[in-house]
Amino acid sequence: MGPSGFIAVLAGWVTTEVGRQPFTVHGLLRTGDSLAPVSAPAVGASLMAFIVVYFFVFGAGTYYILRLMGQRPGAGPHTVDGPTRTAGITPAPQLGREHATPGE
């Protein structure tokens, strides 16, 4: 069931975007008339860049999420000792020092 939420969101979005064609604003502005004067090489280059970056970032993110899901609850190396400032500060490393490579 893991990815079903993602599939639902993407399916809804695709339905909206495809369903409103050929209009950008229904009945008022056609998609072909709403193009920005950006040249094709610029659009192509930015699309490629976003694909590469998203695969890299989402790939890493998915890997970290799956690894987190693979850990048993409460199996982490940390214990709560007293009040902690939580909001906004970056999380503590989720690997303890015992995983550190020699020399660190």
Partner 1 sequence: MEFDLAFIWAGLIAFAVLTYVILDGFDLGVGILFPLAGSETDRDTAMNSVAPVWDGNETWLVLGGGGLFAVFPLAYAVVMPALYMPITLMLLGLVFRGVAFEFRWKTRKWKPVWDVAFVGGSVLAALCQGIALGALVQGIEVADRAYAGGWWDWLTPFSALTGVAVVTGYALLGATWLVMKTEGSLQHRMRRTAWPLGLATLGFMGLVSLATPFLEPVYFARWFNLPGSLFSLVMPGLVLAAAWALFTGLSEGREARPFLAALSLFVLGFVGIGISFYPMMVPPEMTIWQAAAPRSSLAFALVGALILVPIILAYTGYAYWVFRGKVRPGDGYH
Interface with partner 1 (CB under 8 A), residue from 19, 86, 102, 103: 86
Among 8, 10, 49, 51, binds partner 1 (CB under 8 A): 49
What 3-state DSSP class applies to 45? helix
Is 78 near partner 1 (CB under 8 A)? yes
Q: Among residues 90, 93, 63, which one has the least CA distance to residue 76?
A: 93
Our finding on whether 51 is near partner 1 (CB under 8 A) is no
In this structure, the number of other CB atoms found within 10 A of the CB of residue 94 comes to 13
Question: Helix (H, G, I), strand (E, B), or coil: what is residue 48?
Answer: helix
Residues contributing to the site for partner 1 (CB under 8 A): 36-39, 41-42, 46, 49-50, 53, 57, 60-61, 64, 67-68, 78-80, 84-95, 99-101, 104
